[in-house]
């Protein structure tokens, strides 16, 4: 069964977001990264958008320490209608 264009576009958007978050978080904490963002990325890569959003909502106090990551998540994940 072929995926429709919208589904492919959504998957591509999610993959790009996961890659951008991976890149940003990997430089934090002397290269150790940000564990809650790593968890969020795992859910994105699985296509589990609801769980990725839940991680952000539950761990937002930690993510707030990284304004570049927080902004990207706010714009690209939380405002999107998946």
- Per-residue pLDDT for 2 more than 70? no
Instruction: Kindly list the domain boundaries of the chain, sorted by start residue.
Output: 31-82
- Per-residue pLDDT for 1 more than 60? no
Q: d(Cα 31, Cα 8) in Å, to the nearest integer?
A: 32
Band of pLDDT at residue 82, cut at 50, 70 and 90: low
pLDDT digits (tens, 9 = 90+) for 13-62: 999 999 999 999 999 999 999 999 999 999 999 999 999 999 999 999 99
Q: Which one-letter DSSP state was computed for residue 2?
A: P
Question: Which spans in the chain are helix H?
Answer: 5-26, 35-46, 49-63, 67-73
Q: Which one-letter DSSP state was computed for residue 64?
A: T
Q: Which one-letter DSSP state was computed for residue 30?
A: T
């Amino acid at each position: 069964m072929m995926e429709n264009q919208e589904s492919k576009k959504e998957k591509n958007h999610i993959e790009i977001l996961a890659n951008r978050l991976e890149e940003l978080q990997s430089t934090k904490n002397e290269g150790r990264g940000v564990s809650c963002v790593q968890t969020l990325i795992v859910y994105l890569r699985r296509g589990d958008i609801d769980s990725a959003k839940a991680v952000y909502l539950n761990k937002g106090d930690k993510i707030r320490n990284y304004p570049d990551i927080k902004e990207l998540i706010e714009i690209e994940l939380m405002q999107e209608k998946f």
